Structure 1
């Protein structure tokens, strides 16, 4: 998939698509097929998809005869109660269809991502049939949680398909929106039963992948040819830190859609970091190399289990097409690249790669020394630029301060002169004091004497 003539990862858009040329995204976990083609490929010839539709109360027909009998009896009791209320066998069916039609109209008014609104509609009386299907399916899956995880995956996917038939007259986008809510409802409940199931080796593969990533923590961004922003851009720290945080958050989510949202958020942060680093839009090679760098730095917990959980129990349209499908396919390619990474992928000789892996060599002696030297040079240039700017600012401030002092002195001199003049005028216009008048009255007497 990747060439070794250049450092970094090289993958074409065509290599991300399904090997069956169906137009959807493939995945290394499905040997290059999309989820639909992979399921069809793994199904025995002539076999039909398992029917997970309920006989009356939502219990799949794939389980025991006891469950079928129990469902039939429950349906018979419900039918009897309806006859008591409606008085005929035809009225309940007509009334049920009308109620179901009303419920479907309520779902069309949902805003994207409004999961609380979905739960409110699902719990309303018109949605009783749909709610019963979900409840019965959840109860049955929890009762049979010891089934192999692949069997559970097939049952969940068949349930998605049969549940979507209730909205067959809608547009694809509307159906997908409702089914995303259904997926979140179902898988939030089933997460503790099916995630990292005992019937598979996900836990062991998680440990293997985690040790593999830890052993590659010496790889630098320069080795992967990941562009970093220039120091003069003003950005401090690792620009990929938000992406690292987002990919770590995947393990904290329970619904496959929520996990995919974290993956999409991580990829968006990567593109934002690349936009700061490049003057041109980031290409697919830069993005995939940066995604590998993020995974090596983050070493996300239970990465393999989380990816398998999304593959087994996520909605097919989320992985086969669209933005989430593209990002998840690149994530799978990045993991596959890390698992097979060797010296040629990093433009290193086998001896150099082995030395790094055995901790006999340090990146600081080669690649990291250049990177540190380059970073130091950028830092010195930045400090010099700041010093020049500071000196220029100080000179400007000194000039402004001198001008201000001259202005203030001139204003004080002017104010003092005006005050002196006003005082003289006030003294000249002021009336004589009482002592002066008394002296003036007594002067003639003294003259006469």
Structure 2
């Protein structure tokens, strides 16, 4: 079994469209900007294809390559006439009558951001609200303080939009699939801000507040995501043997500071799941990756390259098996401002994390230059790595034993120093006598 070869380089982290920004597997190798353009192009092509199919169903003899006219009517006018006939149907009339009898819920005004709730017809104005969690209360107070620093007309506009978003997300469970689109559309309230930097700051605050308040709905809204996370956790458990010498992580675990830093990195990547704000999740990932770079520098005696960093990150993930890591990655992708992921330190680390997860999911016998049957035997637990391949220095029991020996050595040194002082005192007494 050879050392693990990671087929990623610094060039592979860039957007495959050729721009200067970072891409990631979540967007099929594109950056967020190019991914939106790519999705828009697909939607336009799909819409055009559906239009051609609809015309063919109306009359297969029509030529759709040229004009849109048919029997003196344009295609658009045909659709318009069909819409009018549908609206004038008895069923449509009954629906309109029902809507008049049951107007849409109104949003009651609130004295503080994010506390407005729908007031249903036929109910009293007093509504029992669920008590906010500690994180939500802290986010609410922080957001209120931020709004107080803005001009009144701007803060009022932002507060109105944010209240509508939070109320809609929290109380209308039938639109879970539209949460991302709703938030992105409401971000357009930054049109009243003149400076791009000011708009960026406002959007960051709005992002944090909405995600913290509505975290229970926005995080992992689809059961398929939870299934994917559980599948990845099982996958990582089955690959635990890869950490027993099959991957060149570059850490010198005989160095106590390296081991301590590694433990902190493990803690940081686990704590990603405890944060509600996408920015806090990114900060936790950034701290983890910085600790990895510091460990590589101390272990190798020089700055680590990107090719050395990615295997180390893969090793940390395999050793840690972070909870709901895929859902956290998707949450960050959906609700973090694109500018944070397209460039900069956080964007670089996030792209590496996506590449590491993609590599783990696709890890096979060829990656380790092993026979497929041997790979499956290790993965299923039929074979275990030989003891000489297990890095002894990273074994928890041996680390504890080494720490105990170090403590005993420290006590022995202190005892020798104390005995020397006692001898000095005895000599002084003899001289005085």
- Report the TM-score range of the alignment, normalised by the length of the smaller protein: 0.5 to 0.7
Label 1:314 to 1:8 Cα distance change in 2 as closer, same or farther (>3 A).
Answer: same
| Distance (whole Å) between structure 2 residues aligned to residue 207 and residue 5 of structure 1 | 29
Matched with 1:355 is: 377
CA distance in 1 between partners of 2:165 and 2:421 (Å): 79
Q: How does 1:254-273 map to 2 (within 5 A)?
A: 254-273=276-295
- 1:138 Cα shift? 2.7
Aligned equivalent of 2:13? 16
Matches within 5 A, 1:3-402: 7-43=4-40, 44-45=43-44, 115=143, 117-121=145-149, 127-147=155-175, 149=177, 151-160=178-187, 162-167=188-193, 169-172=194-197, 174-198=198-222, 201-220=224-243, 222-229=245-252, 231=254, 233-235=255-257, 237=259, 239-368=261-390, 394=416, 402=423
Q: Which residue of 1 aligns with 2:427?
A: 406
TM-fit CA distance, 1:31: 0.6
SS of aligned partner of 1:146 = helix
| 1:292-325 Cα shifts (integer Å, max 9, x gaps) | 1121122122221121122122211121111111
State which drifts further: 134-143 or 249-258: 134-143
Decide whether aligned partners of structure 1 residues 278 and 138 sit closer, same or farther in structure 2, where only a CA change above 3 A counts: same
Residues 116/322 of structure 1: CA separation in 2 closer, same or farther (3 Å cut): farther
Cα 1:157/1:359, change in 2 over 3 Å = same
Distance between the aligned counterparts of 1:327 and 1:391, measured in 2?
44
Return closer, same or farther for 1:236/1:289 CA change in 2, 3 Å cut-off: closer
Deviation at 1:393, TM superposition (A): 8.9
CA separation of 1:132 and 1:171: change in aligned 2, threshold 3 A: closer
Query: Structure 1 CA distance, aligned partners of 2:211 and 2:394?
Result: 47
Secondary structure at the counterpart of residue 175 of structure 2: coil
- How far 1:144 sits from its partner (Å)? 4.3
Q: Which runs of 5+ in 1 are unaligned?
A: 49-64, 75-113, 414-449
Distance 2:174 2:149 in 1: 32
Structure with larger Rg: 1
**CA RMSD of superposed structures (Å):** 4.0
CA distance 1:127–1:237, shift in 2 (3 Å): closer
Contact 1:363 1:369 in 2 (8 A): no
Three-state SS of the structure 1 residue aligned to 2:247 is: coil
TM-superposed CA distance for 1:127, in Å, is 2.0
8 Å contact from structure 2 (residues 157, 189) kept in 1: no
Measured in 1, the distance between the counterparts of 2:394 and 2:24 equals 38
**Equivalence for 1:87:** none
Cα 1:355–1:290, aligned 2, differ >3 Å: closer, same or farther?
Answer: same
User: Could you give the per-residue CA deviations for residues 213-245 of structure 1, whole angstroms, max 9, x where no partner exists?
Assistant: 1111222263210122252x3448564211111
Residues 387 and 265 (structure 1 numbering): CA distance in 2 closer, same or farther, change over 3 Å?
Answer: closer
CA distance in 2, matches of 1:254, 1:389: 45
Structure 2 gap ranges (5+): 48-95, 108-141
CA contact (8 A) 1:229 1:235 kept: no
Distance 1:41 1:145 in 2: 29
1:101-158: CA deviations, max 9, x gaps? xxxxxxxxxxxxx656315447967622221122123333445442352x33233223
Distance 2:166 2:44 in 1: 30
Residue 403 (structure 1) shift: 5.5
Check the 8 A contact 1:244/1:294 in 2, yes or no.
Answer: yes
- Secondary structure, counterpart of 1:18 in structure 2: coil
SS in 2 for 1:147: helix
